[in-house]
Structure formats: C-alpha cells, structure tokens
Amino acid sequence: MQQRSTMRQLLLLSLLWALIHATHYFSRSSAETLPTTARKRRNNTQVVLKKLHLRVLTFALNGPHEKLIKAISTRRATRLAAFYNLGCICGGLGVIIALGLLVWNCSQTLLPLLHSTRPVGLVKRGLELVEEAATQNGIQPLIPGLTVPLSHLPAILAAVFFSQIVHELGHAVSAALDAVPILSAGASFTVLIPAAFVTFPTAALDALKPLSRARIIAAGPFHNLVFWGILLLVDRLGIGTTLTRVLYQDVSHIGRVVVGIDADSDLHRYLPVGALITQLDDTLLGGAEDHWTSYLTSPPMPLALGWCVERASFLASPRTCCDPTAPPSELSCFVAEDRGCLEAVAVLANQTTLRCTTSSDCSEAATCVRPDASAQILRLTVRFNEQVEQVILWSGPRVEVLEQLKMGTFLPRTRLTPLGLWTAVQTLWMYLKTATLSLYLFNLLPLPYLDGTQFVNALLDVAFESGPQTEFEEYDVGALEEGVSRRGRIWNRWKVRVGRGITVTTTGLFVLSAVLALLNTR
C-alpha cells in the first residue's frame, strides 16, 4: 500500500511538471504574436525553465523599492537603522547558536556509533514523537513520508516558501537604508521545493562599509527571528483559540475526529470523514494526552477484558487459522483455555456480548476468549452522530491506521464550515514556526551560498578594516602601486584565511552530520 502511495505521488509530480512545460511552451509561442505594448508589459517578468527547475524573475518591484528609498526620512532611517543594527547582534548570536547546534548534533549522532549500539533512527510517526526523538537522538529532519506524515508536505512547502518571502523582505528593506537598489526579485521551483530570492548589484554592496553590508545580510535571518516571535506572541494571546471556538467545538475530551483518509485505504468503505473515534480497543481517546498516537505506536498488549462465548462452540471450532503456515482464512484466532477460530465481527463488534476477565465471569456454558496476538485485530469504536456508536474492526499492523488516517479534535458547529480547515491551519501554523526559526539558524551557518558565509566575511571586514597602526609603518613600492600597505596585505591574508577556515570547518561538520544521520537510519 505504501508503494502504491509513493507511485501515485511520483505520477502526480510528473503530471505537474508536464503541465508546467506545456504551459510554458504555449505561452512562449503566443507571446510572439502579441502587439509591441503587450510584449513590453510581459518583459517585466522573465520565466526560465530548464528540466525540473522553474525560475521566475520580475522587475516590477524595482520601482516600488526606489520609492521606498526616497520615502525613508532621516528620522525613520535612524529608527530603522537601530532596528536592523539589532539584527546584526542577533545575527552574531545566531551564528554562534547554529554552530553550537551543529557540533551538538554531530556528537549526539556519533555517540551511538562509538558505543556500538544500534541507533533508534528515523521513524514514521506523529510530530509529537518526532520531537521526542529529536531531544534524545539529535536534530531530526522533517522528511514527509518518513519522519512526518506525507500529507503534511503541502503545509511544509507553503511554510518554507512564506518564511523565505519574509527573509528576502528583510534584505530588501535593510538595503533601502543604504540606497542599494534591487536588480530583480522572484521565485524558483526545483523538483518540489519552492524558493524566493532578491538580487542586488554586487558593486553597490561591495562599496558599502562592512557594518552596513553586515546589516543587510543579517536582515533576512533577523526577519525570520522576529516573525517567529510574532507567531509565539499570537499563540500566547490565544487569538487562534478564540476564533476556533466561534466556528468549531472542541471534542478532544471525547475522542478524535477523522478529517482525512488515504485514498487507497481499506478504511474508506467504513469510516466517513467527520466520524468521531472514541476508543481504540478498550483505551478511551478523550483527554489532553495523545492516546491515539501512543496506542497505535506501542507494542500490542493482551486485553484486560475478554468476551463470553459459548464453550461448546468454541471447543468445536477449527484451529487452522491459528497455524501461521495455514492459508488466509475469514476466521480469526482466539485464545481461552485452548485456541479456536471464530468470526471476529460476531464476537468483537457485538456490543451486547458480555465482557469478562476470566471464565468465572461468564455463565457455566460459556468461556472467556480474547483475540490471539497473531490475529492483529484492532477495535475502533466510532460515533457517527451524538448517540449512535459502532465498532469497526481493523486486521493488520495497527501503525497502518496511524499512517492512513488524519485526525483532529474539532468538529464544525455548522455544515457550512469545512471540517479540515482548522486542522490544516494548525498544521500550517506549526510548520511556519518551525520553518522560520530553522531559516534563521540555517542561513547563518557559514556554508557556501548561505548568508552565514557573507555575514562572517562582513564581520571580519569590520574587525580587520584598519588593522594595527604603528607610528612608523614601512611601505614598499609594489604595495604603494597597488594602493595597499604591506601590513594591510598581511592582515587581508589573515582575514581570508580565517574566513576560509571557518567555512571549511563548518562544511566538514555539516557533511559529517549528514553522513551520521544516514548511518543512523539503518
């Protein structure tokens, strides 16, 4: 079933890229027949498509950015400069924290290998268990279909893309303080990963003072940090909870609501979207704890209560289904004093059947039976409306139920309110907080092509800008012809070495962390 789901996802991805290429081909052909004025208007945007990489550049934002440069008065510029100067401080702290987390993650993933113990690895579970594993086993990546549900992929992509827009907005606004124009802005789409970007003239950035350049570079991660703080503040104020109570009713004290089912799941025929599951076997799902995830991911345990069935019928029943080498049967294996094969629906789904702890709780002609562990039967007690409850049986690994069902805790107060809206908003909100904080830290790592490398180089320019001064500094003719003193050249060489050493060391740690993470998935 998981293989069919993966093939379906690959097919949808292939169809998406086929549609993108077809749209680009026909739009390019129609552009040749447009009048001159229309072509000029379209030239504000350029589309570059190469295989599985789509890049859209627009120059329409250049004008508004120039207006922003002119609109910033001296007083506003002073306030904004103070705000983004704070971003430089947060950027420096972010570099230290990001490097510390990278070293810590390497050590956490290396220790199990050094002690010759089998690491826990990546598991396909709910988000709560992934976070718990992360605290025990280092930083765990969010991989849809492996560490988080595959259904969360759209929310992850949307959160990352929006966080990148916030990030690039920081670069653009900070650049306006120093009258640095933008060349273009846009977005890209590579395979399945979206990205946003804004470009500046290299000469204009190089002509700035090192501190101003550092401020522009740090503004992107600083925006992500501020945005993360705003999201936490909204959570703290409970604004989302207030809005939810108007449209939805919280049923977490009763159970969990089915808000989505995998298209290829066998449960589609029995569980409608909106059904309220109140029990898994004899475990009540109501309460603040996530009994749904914990029960479905824990090893099966013998049930405390059994069912009273007629002893003579049980003893006369066949035992072939209890043989693991026997062919599949419609009967399920039950155990009492002995083993027998019974129809599971007739026993487990009949809510009038007397429950028992031992056979003494039953009549003289009955015995207390329980499903054998080999039967892998899970009972789901479902409430379809306020009164009617029904038992649905699942045969197979119980973790598949966790993978195939998407659950929530809110039911709409009216039929006009979409059932899965609040769950989708909750998921997106959670990934927004994760994505924007991750972008703040990850972009400040001194890795090639990231803000961290440029930011560290700008800080080194600040530190090595003047170098040590002496009263009688020696010069040579070659240095004077180049416009740089000999001591200045020495300090420049040291600056380059320090910057290169930081980048190489960080890259080595990052590669080591990735390799160790792959080893821990075995």
- Per domain, the residue ranges of the chain are 2-43, 64-238+430-519, 250-415
- What angle is formed at CA 48 by the lines to CA 42 and CA 53, rounded to 5 degrees? 140
- What angle is formed at CA 156 by the lines to CA 245 and CA 399, rounded to 5 degrees? 80
Strands 276-280 vs 332-335: parallel, antiparallel or unpaired: unpaired
Q: How many residues does the chain have?
A: 522
The two tokens of residue 141 are 């990546």
CA 163, chain centre distance (Å):
12
Residue tagged 């803000």 (tokens): 451
Distance separating alpha carbons of residues 486 and 130, to the nearest angstrom: 55
Residue 387 has what pLDDT?
A: 67
Check: CB of residue 5 under 8 Å from CB of residue 150: yes
From first to last of the 522 residues of the chain, give the pLDDT tens digit. Answer: 556 666 777 888 889 889 988 888 887 665 555 454 444 444 688 888 998 999 999 999 999 999 888 888 666 677 888 899 999 999 999 999 999 999 998 888 777 666 654 444 444 433 443 344 344 444 566 777 666 777 788 899 999 999 999 999 999 999 999 999 999 999 999 988 899 999 999 899 989 999 999 999 999 999 999 999 999 999 888 888 787 888 888 889 999 999 888 878 888 888 888 899 999 999 999 988 999 999 999 988 889 999 999 999 999 999 889 888 888 888 999 999 889 999 999 999 988 889 999 999 999 999 999 999 888 899 999 998 766 789 999 988 999 999 889 888 888 888 888 887 888 888 899 999 999 999 999 999 999 989 999 999 999 988 876 544 444 444 444 444 444 555 556 667 888 888 899 999 999 999 988 887 777 655
At residue 74, φ and ψ (nearest 5 deg) are -60, -45
Check: CB of residue 295 under 8 Å from CB of residue 301: no
* Beta-bridge partner residues of 334: 340, 371
- What angle is formed at CA 456 by the lines to CA 467 and CA 176, rounded to 5 degrees? 100
3-class SS string, 294-339: HHHHCCCCCCCCEEEEEHHHHHHCCCHHHCCCCCCCCCEEEECCCE
Residue 6 has what pLDDT?
A: 67
425 half-sphere exposure, CB direction, 13 A CA radius: 13
